Amino acid sequence: MAGSVFAIGLLASFAHPGAGQRSAPTDTLTLRGSVIDAVTGRPMGGVALLARKSRRLAVSQADGRFMLRLEPGPDTVVAFFLGYDSLEIALTGDEVGTFDVMVPLRQAPIELEGLSVRVERLEAARQFARTFNGRLWERDGFEKYTQAARHMLDMLRWSGMVTFVRPVGDTDRCVVIRARHGCAVVYVNGARMPPESLIDIPPDDVESFVVLRPIDATTVFGTGAAGGVVMVFLRGR
């Protein structure tokens, strides 16, 4: 996908009041702010912001807000969400303190990108798994199971990456990665979804998925992911 690149000093036009202004000097750098749709102005949750060099990751909340703490030094923070152009924030290495930024993402017609979309999405899954000790199952590995599985929950059961999936009430589901850790959080194409939504995903629509154990998920997503995280990437969406 195409993307945009901004130097931190050029973000003022997209920032909150005072953006680009340093707070009291510290030995760390903090980027905080909101991710929005560049056209509608609506906040975007589930957007990943990954620092390429330091491998630090933040995921925007439902209201678009995020906070990413970095070590000083040159780096590039990439904001990406499927169906949108990525946006890069270039850090020169001179920044310290706290910067408030607004990150506007523009929709991209991914259905016209063909194979390049699949490659970028798959690489994002691989990088996420490598960086945060996740377990990745790519389509080449589970292709033979897609005809027998009824839906994505079956694929999770057969993957051996989760302990079990149990019903909660009449319609809800709970994906358990480790016993006694509670229900895992589920993301589909970067957007947080209820686990039972996986029943509506045909296995043939799945490109890959990553499972983070509770200890790794808590490090990345905080205590709200104490049960672990399942990240599903769909084909051509």
User: pLDDT, tens digit, for every residue of 3-26?
Assistant: 555 544 433 333 333 334 444 445
Is the torsion defined by CA of 5, 125, 117, 105 positive or negative?
Answer: negative
Report how far residue 162's alpha carbon sits from residue 178's, in angstroms, rounded to the nearest whole number: 7
pLDDT above 90 covers a percentage of the chain that reads 12
Kindly report, residue by residue over 194-211, the tens digit of the pLDDT. 888 888 888 888 889 999
**How many CA atoms does the CB half-sphere of 84 hold within 13 Å?**
25
Residue 96: the pLDDT is: 73
Report the mean per-residue pLDDT for the chain. 78
Residue 12: the pLDDT is: 31
Residue 86: the pLDDT is: 80
Report how far residue 110's alpha carbon sits from residue 116's, in angstroms, rounded to the nearest whole number: 9
Give the predicted TM-score (pTM) of the model: 0.54
Residue 14: the pLDDT is: 35
Least confident of 9-18, 126-135, 156-165, 226-235: 9-18
Does residue 112 have a pLDDT over 60?
no
pLDDT above 70 covers a percentage of the chain that reads 81
Structural domains present in the chain: 3-105 (2.60.40.1120), 110-234 (2.170.130.10)
